[in-house]
Amino acid sequence: QVQLVESGGGLVQAGGSLRLSCAASEDTFRTSTMGWFRQAPGKEREFVSAVNWLGSAGYADSVKGRFTIRRDNTKNTLYLQMNSLKPEDTAVYYCAALSGSLVVPQEPGEYDYWGQGTQVTVSS
């Protein structure tokens, strides 16, 4: 059972930056596609970004050019650098893992494991 623990959320003003981290408990991280999703109150969970273990990444149109996903396979850790934050980025951000795959899906149902989430709040 892979455990994922997110950190790095918080309160930031519009235009600011945050870096989220996701620590994975096992070396299966190294052959997993890792993703970030977010869920705002009253809305469905939506794809933000994901990267497979070869480094091929995808981004939601709403975050392209502002967010960067990165993984460190030596530390079993996934990162999401978020710049130029907007109030509409406010949500709980979740880390997810799809083990043993090279695909980079955008549907939450494709992922096997989830973290508990970290709150990101962007004030205007």
pLDDT attached to residue 2: 85
β-strand partners of 77: 23, 72
pLDDT attached to residue 28: 82
Please give the angle made by the CA atoms of 89, 82 and 26, to the nearest 5 degrees: 105
- CA 48 and chain centroid, separation: 6
- Torsion angle, alpha carbons of 55, 16, 41, 109, to 10: 0
pLDDT attached to residue 27: 79
Helix (H, G, I), strand (E, B) or coil at 108: helix
- Measure the CA–CA gap between 12 and 22, rounded to whole angstroms: 19
8 Å CB contact between 74 and 86: no
pLDDT per residue as tens, the chain (124 positions): 789 999 999 999 999 999 999 999 887 888 999 999 999 999 999 999 999 999 999 999 999 999 999 999 999 999 999 999 999 999 999 999 999 889 999 999 999 999 999 999 999 9
